[in-house]
Structures are given as C-alpha cells and as structure tokens.
Copies of this chain bind each other. A is one copy, B any other.
Amino acid sequence: MSRRRVTLADLAEAAGVSRTTASLVMTGRGRELRISHDVEQRVLRAADELGYRPNAVSVGLRTGTTRTIGFVSDTVATSHLAGDMIKGALEAARERGVMLFIGESEGDPELERGLLHAMQDRQVDGIILAAMFTRTIKVPKDIGPAVLLNALPRPASGLPSIVPDEIEAGRSAARVLLDAGHHDEVYVIGAGPTLQDVPADSVAAVERLIGIRETGLKIAGARVCPDWQPEHGLAATRALLADHRPRALICLNDRVAIGAYQALAEAGLSVPGDVSVVSFDDHPIASWMWPKLTTVALPHYELGRKAVEVLFAQMAGEVEPGQVFRVPMPVRHRESVVARA
C-alpha cells in the first residue's frame, strides 16, 4: 500500500541533479561546497514535495554515528519509583534529536552483557548505565562512551557518575527541623545512630546520616530497619515509642515514614501536633499521606536529564575522567513539620 520510501536517488532524479549534489544540499554543506542557490532551491523544493527523509540506518552505517543512545538499568526503567529518571533522559535526548534504547538487566551480569552487546551492535553513540538505588557497580570492559547514573564505579573506571547529593539532603532534612525549633528530642528511623547501623549496601543511608550529623542536630536516638519498607518503619517506631517520647522524627525514606505514621497513630500521637516528621525520597505517596509528608526529594527527572547531558559533554571531551556530578535534592515543604512550641 504505502509507497516505498523516498530515497536520495529519487530526490536527485526529481531535482535533476546527482545524488552527490542532493546529499550536499540536504546535509547543509551546499554553501561550503559551492552549490548554486538555484540548484539548492530546486533540491529543497523536491525534498519537500516528495517528503524526503534520510534513512537513518544508512546514515548510521556510513557515518558511524546513529543519534541513538542506550539506557541500561538493573530495574529502574520500570520501577514505580524511578520512571522519572527515564523521563528526564528521554526529554534531554529528544532535545538533541537522539533516540533511546532501553534495557533491563535485572541485576544479572550475563543479561547485562547481552544488552550492552545488542546496543553496541546497533552502534549506539553512548550508554547510560543506571541503578535503581544508589550503589557502586562494576563497569563492563569495552563499554565505549558511557556514564553511570545513580551509581559509582567500583574500581575507578574513568567514567563520569551522576548521583543525588544525599549528604546535602541529610543536611536539608536536619535543617528543616532545626529551623522549626527542634533542637533535641529528635529521633531517626531507618538507620543510625552510627554510620555502621545501616541497611546493607545503602549508600543513601550512610550519606543521609552524615549530612544529618554535620548540622550539629542532636540525635536523641535511632532505630535501624533491615529494609526500608512500611512494616519495618512501623516496627521500628513502635519499638522506639515503647521507651521514648520524640518531638520529631527523621525517617530515612517515605515508605518508612508510612510505618512511622501508623505507629504514631496507634500511640495516640498526632502529626505534626505532637511529633513532626521529615523524610526522604518524595515518593508519590508522600503527598497522599495525611498530613502530607515533608520530604527531601530524589530528583529522578533531573538525574535522567543530567545523565544525557553529561554523556554528550563527555563525548565532546568536556568532562574530567571519573568526574562525579551531584544533583541537588530539593526539600518539599508540606504539612508534617510544625514549629516547636
């Protein structure tokens, strides 16, 4: 039904010129290569009439660049938490006329290799290696131009990294409470009080704690969670409330905060009247909770954008080997923190 695609040869014939000339005009090198204004117009008009669009596969083969990048993640692509990362990458890519391949390795190195190969075979211009949770990863050999998103290379690899600025986020959370007059009776749920008391492999936990402590906020106590799920937050907060009467809680993420809300309600304590709560991540649920949760947001969208920007900057030679880009985590002020009486 639909006619064969219009090729450069068709265009050349329609305009009555050689394929070379047609190509020169279409790639904008007409001026440079002394094609007359008259012929140029003829070609452009024909291109318009025929609806000529160059075959990107052919261009890719000839030039070696496909205006395509690969986005390989452990599972981020489809996660309910971090889809915005893809969105940021997608928009930054579109602005550059670049398409995105996506793939999920599910943490399987064999699968990851396969995906990287499939992408390299398709001549992607670069690759974004993304992780669901901020962590260190081993970088495959011969990966070509690449950046790490939400991840740091385990042995230094020279690849640039883009990560959320968790330490500053920790400071921000603490400052939210300090600014509200909470100088003591502040407890931490999810990790702490020492940097050893954290869920396994959690870069976020460690850095958030560091940031919190740097502000000088006095941490009255803390409860670790083996994992940051609502039920763990619930259990940890219940345990805390058995012996203590907090005036403020720093929950190490929003899911933990859900559990904390629950435990506080059980204990007959109101948020924020009796206890102020501040958290991290800005999971969508944070603005559905009641009262709405004040939280320090993971900037997924910005992380995704930045990854593409850095990838291109790197290909242009504008990035130091191993450079780490920290993306600020903004505070979402909502209803769960109130000034201390």
Contact = CB atoms under 8 A, between A and B. Distances in A.
B53 A117 contact: yes
A258 B78 CA distance: 24
Contacts of A258: 288
Copies of this protein in the assembly total: 2
A123 interface: yes
A90 interface: yes
Contacts of A310: none
A86 interface: yes
Interface in A1-34: 2
Interface residues of A, number: 49
B99 A101 contact: yes
A99 B122 contact: yes
Interface in A82-115: 83-84, 86-87, 90-91, 94, 97, 99-104, 111, 115
A122 B80 contact: no
A22 to B, nearest CB: 17
Given A78-B86, A87-B77, A262-B290, A101 B103 contact: no
A190 to B, nearest CB: 16
A91 B102 CA distance: 11
Contacts of A58: 61
Main SS of the interface on chain A?
Answer: helix
B77 A86 contact: yes
A294 interface: no
22 contacts: A54-B121, A55-B61, A55-B123, A57-B57, A57-B60, A57-B122, A58-B61, A66-B122, A77-B87, A77-B90, A78-B84, A78-B86, A78-B90, A80-B80, A80-B81, A87-B104, A90-B102, A99-B103, A100-B103, A101-B101, A230-B288, A285-B288
A78 B83 contact: yes
Contacts of A220: none
A68 B122 contact: yes
A247 B86 CA distance: 43
Interface in A102-153: 102-104, 111, 115, 117-123, 142, 144
